[in-house]
Structure 1
Amino acid sequence: MAEVFVIYYHKILPRLGFDVFYKTFDLEMKILKSFYNVVNLDEIEQYIKEDKRPNKPTVAITFDDGYVDNFVYAYPILKKHGLKATIFPIASRILQKDFVRPTLFDYWQGKVSFKELHQPKTMAQANLEYLKHGVKDTKDWDFLTVAELNKMKDVFDVGGHAYLHSRVFYDEEIIDFYDGKNGHWSFYYAYGEEPKIGFPILKSQNNLAVERSYIKKEVKDYVKSLDESYFKQKDWKIRLKKELLKKFDKIVDKEPMQERKERVIKELQDSKSMLESMINQKIRHFAYPFGHYDDLLVELVGLFFETAFTTEKDVIKSKTNLHKIPRFGIPKDISSFIAVLGKAKIKGVKS
């Protein structure tokens, strides 16, 4: 019996860079078309429920977050090869507009030059833009429009990926301080404001997967009150940690579990309803933002979705939990893609 597994992408680029180049993606799809049975997530669900193993290696293709380059570059390539995929867009990032940007189809047909196609931002740039400004009604917006999402439905199924998609702090221990170079784009949401030099950094995860820790306003105000010269000291982080622990009984306010539960239920329910109204279809599958989950989140996701997908690197095995289905992330170079296929084959033999 052959291996069954799921892969995921984020962005497809018009040039070599920080993620998968579109010509590399084209070659990868050609390989999958030639040597694999490419299925959708409904079929993955059936493989698990029926404990079924095919005779030919089988894979499902997924995309996370809902970037417009998935429409501009990935969609035409998938359609060219006759392949299906699933996209998990972040509900809050979708632009509620009916305009459709040019794709590779338009380039292939001579309607636009290659330079006229959308030039993707990095994931950090795109998500930070959202957290700072909200959804921008502009054609250089890096996420999909409703019209683009619907236009892709002949190739892409649509799954849920929550509404906020941001890391939050969940602990009380200070593990570092923001110094202007060590931040994550989601800190803008975690702090509830633009990060300032000296703000404490705590352990963080997907906002759905934890009881949130809110850094107290008086702690942030104290850090803001410090002179710039304070942060020029070589040992300012050590000094600041001692001062904060001495000055404040508590660094954070912790969210009660019941409050988190109600918050998560609302976000899952609202984001699912929002996406279903956009595409006029039921949504059955979910991908955990950042791949983070705990037992409570798995339980709550199961109230709304038939399956849920992690970022754990493994194949589909006998009795795989329908709400903890693993996926292999695809790196940007072709040799790493081949390595992922090899790893799936080895794990498939062992399972």
Structure 2
Amino acid sequence: MSKKRFFTWLKRLVSAGLAVILLFFAAAFAFPSLQLAQKACGVLQKAEAKAFVLTHKTPELEFHGNGNTTPVFDTSKQRYAEQVPVLMYHYVVPKAFNKEPDNNSMINLESFEAGMKYLYDNGYYTATLSELEDYLHGYIQLPEKTVVLTFDDGYENNYIYAYPILKKYGLHAALFIIGSRVQEHAAKDFKPDKSSYLSQEQLDAASDVFEYHSHTYDLHKKETLFCGKQEALTRDTDLLQKDIGIMREHGYITPYFAYPFGSYDAKTVYYLQKHGYRMAFTVKQGFVKPGDAPLELNRLTVTSSTDMELLLKTGDFKQSVKKD
């Protein structure tokens, strides 16, 4: 076979292969419910995300510190932190009213208070998010016994139950608000067995303990966006950018963000950074360490069955679950 015929044959083979691949991906979009097509679509999504990273220059993050100083503490009793646990909470409810004991987003009030008492009794410092940001970039040091407390969604029970306990023990926390769910006025009769959201009055009243940041204005939802799968609406970056503007119009001007359902990709990170967000939190389990990617920070889930001491030592959610 001549060289010319060989290369002609090879070109046709490559073209045929590319045509098959394109047909394969076309099927993914035409028939997204098919399992094979869904996998193909997923592969295409990942490839598209990688291509996006290669073709879009990451917005420069100009950060020169928040002007904070290292907290004052007795260095003879503890060293500086090599890593910081960021604890994640959502829904706090008395055990008697907990209808979903296996739901990791719900924690019994009794277990929550025991955890906060443990932090207090053992001399833990609850850092603010601006302190965590400075620590992340090496501007300050934090005590070895430092923890960051975060709450997602903005449930009313965070004010009714968590706030008095945090205040009692002198602890600080960050609350990621879903802007559209903030109520104008608190309900007259709070019902622990029903889900309800914080009012503006309650947010104002609890501001001595909580700092407030973004969990989007109205994108804490899932819809079929790609590949026939349910995805968080934040994955639609056009919707995300509009939502950022709405959130700011309602007064939530913050550089800190928590991903709804922990869902994000390279494009989400790009547009958050483009719009001035400097830190964002996932639901991936692990500690935060200096030099970590600031828009992909780990957290640690805390449940009613969590052994707080073990969780803070190991960062292993499964290992820290108490055995009955």
Q: Is the 8 A contact 2:215 2:260 kept in 1?
A: yes
Task: Using the TM superposition, give the Cα deviation of residue 162 of structure 1 relative to its aligned residue in structure 2, in angstroms.
Answer: 0.5
Paired letter, 2:200: V
Task: Using the TM superposition, give the Cα deviation of residue 149 of structure 1 relative to its aligned residue in structure 2, in angstroms.
Answer: 1.1
Distance 1:80 1:100 in 2: 24
Figure out how many residues of one structure are paired with residues of the other and give that number: 227
Paired letter, 2:203: L
Task: Using the TM superposition, give the Cα deviation of residue 262 of structure 1 relative to its aligned residue in structure 2, in angstroms.
Answer: 2.7
Q: How does 1:155-234 map to 2 (within 5 A)?
A: 155-164=209-218, 165-172=220-227, 202-209=228-235
Backbone CA RMSD of aligned residues:
2.2
- Counterpart check, 1:271 vs 2:243: no
Distance 1:163 1:345 in 2: 32
* TM-score, normalization by structure 2: 0.65
Q: How does 1:12-91 map to 2 (within 5 A)?
A: 12-16=92-96, 17=98, 18=100, 19-35=106-122, 36-50=124-138, 54-91=142-179
Distance 1:345 1:53 in 2: 24
Paired letter, 1:295: A
Distance 1:287 1:205 in 2: 16
Structure 1 segments unaligned to the other structure (5+ residues): 102-115, 127-141, 173-201, 210-259, 277-281, 347-351
User: Any idea what SS the aligned residue of 1:268 has?
Assistant: helix
Paired letter, 2:225: Y
Paired letter, 2:84: V
1:341 alignment partner, one of 305, 312, 316? 312
Distance 1:47 1:275 in 2: 27
Distance 2:289 2:268 in 1: 22
Q: Is the 8 A contact 1:269 1:304 kept in 2?
A: no
Alignment match, 1:320: 292
Paired letter, 1:20: I
Alignment match, 2:59: none
List per-residue Cα deviations over 1:67-92 (Å, max 9, x = no partner).
00000000000000010101111111
- Counterpart check, 1:305 vs 2:277: yes
Work out which of the two has the higher radius of gyration on C-alpha atoms and give 1 or 2: 2
Task: Using the TM superposition, give the Cα deviation of residue 315 of structure 1 relative to its aligned residue in structure 2, in angstroms.
Answer: 0.9
Paired letter, 1:204: Q
Distance 2:226 2:316 in 1: 39
Paired letter, 2:237: K
User: Any idea what SS the aligned residue of 2:269 has?
Assistant: helix
- Counterpart check, 1:284 vs 2:310: no
Alignment match, 2:52: none
Paired letter, 1:152: A
Q: Is the 8 A contact 2:178 2:215 kept in 1?
A: yes
List per-residue Cα deviations over 1:162-187 (Å, max 9, x = no partner).
02200122333xxxxxxxxxxxxxxx
Paired letter, 2:204: N
Distance 2:284 2:296 in 1: 9
List per-residue Cα deviations over 1:108-136 (Å, max 9, x = no partner).
xxxxxxxx753143xxxx4xxxxxxxxxx
Paired letter, 2:191: H
CA distance 1:5–1:345, shift in 2 (3 Å): same
User: Any idea what SS the aligned residue of 1:96 has?
Assistant: coil
Task: Using the TM superposition, give the Cα deviation of residue 55 of structure 1 relative to its aligned residue in structure 2, in angstroms.
Answer: 4.4
CA distance 1:53–1:344, shift in 2 (3 Å): farther
User: Any idea what SS the aligned residue of 1:153 has?
Assistant: coil
* TM-score, normalization by structure 1: 0.60
- Counterpart check, 1:118 vs 2:188: no
Distance 2:246 2:212 in 1: 16
Q: Is the 8 A contact 1:100 1:148 kept in 2?
A: no
Alignment match, 1:147: 201
Distance 1:286 1:79 in 2: 24
CA distance 1:345–1:11, shift in 2 (3 Å): closer
Task: Using the TM superposition, give the Cα deviation of residue 5 of structure 1 relative to its aligned residue in structure 2, in angstroms.
Answer: 1.9
Structure 2 segments unaligned to the other structure (5+ residues): 1-79, 101-105, 318-324
Task: Using the TM superposition, give the Cα deviation of residue 283 of structure 1 relative to its aligned residue in structure 2, in angstroms.
Answer: 2.1
Q: Is the 8 A contact 1:51 1:319 kept in 2?
A: no
User: Any idea what SS the aligned residue of 1:25 has?
Assistant: helix
Q: How does 1:240-251 map to 2 (within 5 A)?
A: none
Structure 1: 4+ residue segments shifted above 3 A: 51-55
CA distance 1:20–1:75, shift in 2 (3 Å): same
Distance 2:167 2:187 in 1: 17
Task: Using the TM superposition, give the Cα deviation of residue 293 of structure 1 relative to its aligned residue in structure 2, in angstroms.
Answer: 0.6
Task: Using the TM superposition, give the Cα deviation of residue 339 of structure 1 relative to its aligned residue in structure 2, in angstroms.
Answer: 3.7
Q: Is the 8 A contact 2:256 2:278 kept in 1?
A: yes
Percent identity at matched positions? 29
Which stretch has the larger CA shift, 317-326 or 286-295?
A: 317-326
Task: Using the TM superposition, give the Cα deviation of residue 307 of structure 1 relative to its aligned residue in structure 2, in angstroms.
Answer: 1.2
Distance 1:345 1:261 in 2: 32
List per-residue Cα deviations over 1:4-37 (Å, max 9, x = no partner).
1201100110224232121211110111123222
Task: Using the TM superposition, give the Cα deviation of residue 53 of structure 1 relative to its aligned residue in structure 2, in angstroms.
Answer: 5.1
